[in-house]
Structure 1
Amino acid sequence: MDAYLLIDFGSTYTKLTVVDLEKEEVIATAKDITTIEENIMIGFEKAYLKIEEKLIGKNVNFIKKLACSSAAGGLKMVAIGLVPELTAEAAKRAALGAGARVLKVYSYELTLDEINEIKNSNLDIILLAGGTNGGNKECIIHNAKMLAENGVRLPIVVAGNKVTSDEIRQIFTKAKMYFTITQNVMPSLNKLNVEPAREEIRKVFMEKIIDAKGLGNAEELIKGILMPTPAAVLKAARILSDGSDEESGLGDLIVIDIGGATTDIHSISEGEPTKGGVTTRGLEEPFAKRTVEGDLGMRYSAISLREAAGSRKMRKYLCDPERKIDIDANCKYRVEHIKMVPTTKEEIHFDEAMAKVATELSMERHVGTIESTHTPMGAMYTQIGKDLMEVKYMIGTGGVLIHSENPKDILKAGAFNEENPMYLKPRKAIYLIDKTYILSAMGLLSEYYPDKAVRIMKKYLVKV
């Protein structure tokens, strides 16, 4: 049978998925610890041996082997813009949509201290934006000169005021820097245009970053690392929502991905007001939006999750009003034992409480909010961000959700709550779980077979 081998070199696990293209079935999955410190192929080969055992007796011909990666910290970027709420925020959204971890966003003219911070940040790519087309050009040119003249030698994607392109090209060419110029992330006030920048970031990731992370060893085996893992998940979410040429999509949806270091939220929705008489304010929201909460993780970020939540919220989900559970000690243990797998009822209960906190807080940060203002004409309502109250599906992925006996309870922590009605979270969503870790794999498969990818996701996402 003809099959695709789809690989996710994750930060903790390398996950393999084998898909029978003709039957549109997942015929085998396996995973093993990612071995980025030694040779990434060691972990892959251990997982591959498990796949071979599962395929004994089956005549499988791998016609393609594709991969995504978030190993070695994933794709790390900074975004540089002009006004924090406008071009700097637009640059950040473009980087997040490309699957990056945005370590910091800089606005206005860069200082020497900020340049030194950038140089010491262990980055992969810089996204340089600033100014609408025909607007301010002094800031982005100043920042280009600062990067060129102070020894910053990182790939740079330029996505700012188009009238500065020629001068920036001369600055970076003279300094012998690796750069690419694409369309402005915010061509006019409050209007986003993030897709060209996302595509350029992906190209740079493939061309320049793979070898730097030790992933070049994998390229002899596979066709190539197509994209960062979060970008693959976002691509899968989008095609599942939109559908393909021959297969209808599910409509508006949200993916909640709870990991050891971060909780990622992907929403596929226009996010326009669902109630009449509401006006919108602020930067235009992308149809396919990703946010990353680096302080809301199950292992690496367990202590920061506890700090973000506070004791009261943690104890609410732990059902521990009498303060019998040592929250600090439990979180500290998880940070010190990042590969811990919960086995006792108490460990599982604590992990699931953490997951509920991560879901609630990350959704509050992702969705839009509603504000009311009293005027002589009565109350006026303003929406900032995306209204996701009518989203049809909430899809959960990540180990804590996949292995939970009560995944719906975790996802419901991110639903609309009458106690905090200002957050425009889903009210009547259907809950699905990615039990077989197929979302990133289907993002890869959709590059070649979008119809099949949609049908496989519909088949394997489990309703809870």
Structure 2
Amino acid sequence: MPDLDPSKINVILATDCGSTTTKAILIEKVDGHYRQTYRGEAPTTVEEPVADVTVGVRNAAAEVAELSGRRLLDDDGNLIRPAQGNEGCDIYISTSSAGGGLQVLVTGVVREMSAASAERAALGAGAIVLDLIASNDRRRPHDQIKRIRDLRPDMVVMAGGTDGGTKKHVVQIAELIAPAKPKPRFGSNYRMPVIFAGNKEAASEVSETFDESVTLSVVDNVRPEMEFENLAPARDCIHDLFLEHVMAHAPGYDRLMKLTDTPIMPTPGAVGDILQQIARARQINCVGVDIGGATTDVFSVFEGADGSPTFNRTVSANLGMSYSISNVCSEAGMPNVLRWADQAMDERELRNRVKNKMIRPTTIPQTAEALVFEQAVAREALRLAYQQHKEFATTLKGVQQQRTVGDTFVQEGGGRSIVNNMKLDLLVASGGVLSHAPEMLQTAQMMIDAFEPEGFTELAKDSIFMMPHLGVLAAVHPDAALEVFEKDCLISLGTVIAPAGATKLGRIAMSYHVSGSTLSEQGEIRFGEQVIFPLKGGETAEVTITPGRGLDVGAGKGKSVSRTVKGGTVGLILDGRGRPLWSDE
């Protein structure tokens, strides 16, 4: 085992084994600072005929070695460690979402309470939640058993009841899982891992319900009290079982686990970790999004009710840009997609284009019109995914809250969303349609239109989807991870300033005064207008904004706010279109 003392780590090789591509990056200490220097990629080799993920890892590492001139592999294809001169690396780390990632079945007594807490724990660990079975989910027991039997999860996460509460309903959930005998995806000798994170008083009875086909792990309750959530023990156990069971049975992962110097992390879990690190380091609220062909992941870190950062992640499994593009158009409606297009389009032709994209998911737009349409679809996919995230990232449901008559309708059905666009400091984007847009302005505009940030918000994109690598590095060397995140991972697009609220077109949305080393502007923006001032990356400016009547940029309606803002490849964007953007929704 190499020395994991951060002071002795100067050369780092990191890989992310995706479903189709394994991406490798080299991080080196250059003049006392950690920088991402080279990258390479190769097809992931988890499927037949190779069925050994380490082949793709070595191929990606070999490309990095060729580009960098640093010999990383010996003649037998083994990684050279530690680094000496122009050979080897000090540590090798990896994340993985190959083979469909980590797939989990979640169960609980009350869907909106214990089951929701267990779902948050699973998503936070980087899992895809296949289904959520609860006593009150309106399915009959035999339908629930059939559903459990039909699924092929990697593990089951059980929750239910507060500590010391009733045990009856918790045991009933176990009695649904036991006869269903859910079959795992990997290996005939695989014993289904079940994590029980419910009422500790029911643990022994739950244990007696299962036979030897199950490996039961009992951890602290995710909801020990109605007013308190404790996700870390379940999340840590999910991660441990991911390595012990799932990875051990996936093709070649036993060999990959011997190669790495730290535990392999699920890719989304690593992304969540680096976002939490940056939120703590900067003491900010942030949102990250990764939009893919089939799914869209949204991550957020916002200050919770107790003042501590609260992390949430959601996976919108039906919102993506290729395999799921038809679902996006169906759920949003074609009129909502086309409102983002600045030109007339034939709806019938567009529907054919959607079908062609599903048949040939790797194609990219070949015409300006096709690009406009794809970016319009992306706005709706992101908007819908963010809407789902805000509905999920709430204060705890079932907690008694003091409320006024004005709050009654807001609190109907449980907790309020902790995602507050006015308090959002940093919005980070990744995924092909955002990262590979021909112009940075297009990326920024898609983010603004979909997420509708309010007040002052910094915009950035992940340059080469490096966040998974940095997330797993943060567990070993957080300082190096944060330094590379700031200097090489994030491409700053600039800052957007937008008032919340609405007024009549033509009225003043905001007055502005901007003062910087290369920028000096003042004036007014009318409602419905958007103005962009050049402010380069690395530059800052002092900005004072006075919103129009009835509008708010963070201090209250009509009240001025002065802030220092950062520039970027796009610059300073003053968005006077109001919030929400579309009042007819």
Q: TM-score range by the shorter chain?
A: 0.7 to 0.9
The 5-angstrom pairing of residues 126-137 of structure 1 reads: 126-137=156-167
C-alpha change, 1:262 and 1:62, in structure 2 (3 Å) is same
- Residue of structure 2 aligned with 1:414, choices 441, 444, 450: 450
| 1:306 correspondence with 2:335 | no
Q: Say which SS state the counterpart of residue 175 (structure 1) adopts.
A: coil
- Residue of structure 2 aligned with 1:212, choices 249, 253, 269: 249
Please identify, of 407-416 and 123-132, the stretch whose mean Cα deviation from structure 2 is larger.
407-416
Aligned-partner residue type, residue 449 of structure 1: H
Paired position in structure 2 for 1:227: 265
The 5-angstrom pairing of residues 397-412 of structure 1 reads: 397-404=430-437, 405=439, 406-412=442-448
Q: What is the CA-CA distance between 1:107 and the residue it aligns to?
A: 0.6
Paired position in structure 1 for 2:420: 388
Paired position in structure 1 for 2:181: 151
**TM-score normalised per structure 1:** 0.86
Q: Say which SS state the counterpart of residue 145 (structure 1) adopts.
A: helix
C-alpha change, 1:171 and 1:366, in structure 2 (3 Å) is same
Q: What is the CA-CA distance between 1:288 and the residue it aligns to?
A: 0.5
Query: CA separation in 1, counterparts of 2:283 and 2:309?
Result: 18
Please identify, of 52-61 and 14-23, the stretch whose mean Cα deviation from structure 2 is larger.
52-61
Paired position in structure 2 for 1:51: 64
Aligned-partner residue type, residue 491 of structure 2: V
Query: CA separation in 1, counterparts of 2:219 and 2:227?
Result: 18
The 5-angstrom pairing of residues 103-114 of structure 1 reads: 103-108=130-135, 111-114=141-144
- Residue of structure 1 aligned with 2:127, choices 93, 100, 105: 100
| 1:166 correspondence with 2:211 | no
- Residue of structure 2 aligned with 1:264, choices 297, 301, 319: 297
Query: CA separation in 1, counterparts of 2:283 and 2:371?
Result: 32
C-alpha change, 1:415 and 1:77, in structure 2 (3 Å) is same
Residues 272 and 387 in structure 1, CA contact (< 8 A), matched pair in contact too? no
Q: What is the CA-CA distance between 1:128 and the residue it aligns to?
A: 0.7
- Residue of structure 1 aligned with 2:43, choices 22, 33, 52: 33
Q: What is the CA-CA distance between 1:356 and the residue it aligns to?
A: 1.3
C-alpha change, 1:265 and 1:311, in structure 2 (3 Å) is same
Q: Say which SS state the counterpart of residue 339 (structure 2) adopts.
A: helix
| 1:197 correspondence with 2:207 | no
| 1:339 correspondence with 2:362 | yes
Higher relative contact order (CA 8 A, sep 6+): 1
Query: CA separation in 2, counterparts of 1:194 and 1:463?
Result: 33
Query: CA separation in 2, counterparts of 1:340 and 1:96?
Result: 30
**How many residues matched?**
434
Please identify, of 298-307 and 215-224, the stretch whose mean Cα deviation from structure 2 is larger.
215-224
Paired position in structure 2 for 1:278: none
C-alpha change, 1:334 and 1:34, in structure 2 (3 Å) is farther
Aligned-partner residue type, residue 9 of structure 1: C
Q: Say which SS state the counterpart of residue 61 (structure 1) adopts.
A: coil
Q: What is the CA-CA distance between 1:322 and the residue it aligns to?
A: 4.6
Aligned-partner residue type, residue 127 of structure 1: V
Q: What is the CA-CA distance between 1:76 and the residue it aligns to?
A: 0.8
C-alpha change, 1:221 and 1:380, in structure 2 (3 Å) is closer
Q: Say which SS state the counterpart of residue 33 (structure 2) adopts.
A: coil
Query: CA separation in 2, counterparts of 1:302 and 1:55?
Result: 38
Q: Say which SS state the counterpart of residue 166 (structure 2) adopts.
A: coil
Q: Say which SS state the counterpart of residue 133 (structure 1) adopts.
A: coil
Map Cα deviations across residues 65-115 of structure 1 (whole Å, 9 max, x no partner): 111111111111111011111111111111111111111111118823322
Residues 77 and 101 in structure 1, CA contact (< 8 A), matched pair in contact too? yes
Q: What is the CA-CA distance between 1:2 and the residue it aligns to?
A: 3.5
- Residue of structure 1 aligned with 2:95, choices 68, 72, 88: 68
- Residue of structure 1 aligned with 2:473, choices 441, 445, 451: 445
Query: CA separation in 2, counterparts of 1:334 and 1:271?
Result: 41
Q: Say which SS state the counterpart of residue 156 (structure 1) adopts.
A: strand
**Tell me, which stretches of 5 or more residues in structure 1 are unaligned?**
244-248, 275-284, 371-376, 417-424
Q: What is the CA-CA distance between 1:140 and the residue it aligns to?
A: 1.7
Residues 41 and 60 in structure 2, CA contact (< 8 A), matched pair in contact too? yes
Query: CA separation in 2, counterparts of 1:330 and 1:45?
Result: 38
**TM-score normalised per structure 2:** 0.69
Residues 382 and 451 in structure 2, CA contact (< 8 A), matched pair in contact too? no
Aligned-partner residue type, residue 179 of structure 1: L
- Residue of structure 2 aligned with 1:82, choices 109, 112, 115: 109
Q: What is the RMSD computed on CA atoms of the aligned residues?
A: 2.6
Larger radius of gyration: 2
Please identify, of 434-443 and 380-389, the stretch whose mean Cα deviation from structure 2 is larger.
380-389
Query: CA separation in 1, counterparts of 2:144 and 2:463?
Result: 43
Residues 16 and 24 in structure 2, CA contact (< 8 A), matched pair in contact too? yes
Q: What is the CA-CA distance between 1:256 and the residue it aligns to?
A: 1.0
Map Cα deviations across residues 136-158 of structure 1 (whole Å, 9 max, x no partner): 31122122233234434521111
C-alpha change, 1:302 and 1:175, in structure 2 (3 Å) is same
Q: Say which SS state the counterpart of residue 264 (structure 2) adopts.
A: strand
Please identify, of 344-353 and 207-216, the stretch whose mean Cα deviation from structure 2 is larger.
344-353
Q: What is the CA-CA distance between 1:171 and the residue it aligns to?
A: 3.4
Q: What is the CA-CA distance between 1:48 and the residue it aligns to?
A: 2.4
Q: Say which SS state the counterpart of residue 36 (structure 2) adopts.
A: strand
Q: What is the CA-CA distance between 1:261 and the residue it aligns to?
A: 1.4
Query: CA separation in 1, counterparts of 2:382 and 2:27?
Result: 30
C-alpha change, 1:323 and 1:176, in structure 2 (3 Å) is closer
Query: CA separation in 1, counterparts of 2:267 and 2:388?
Result: 22
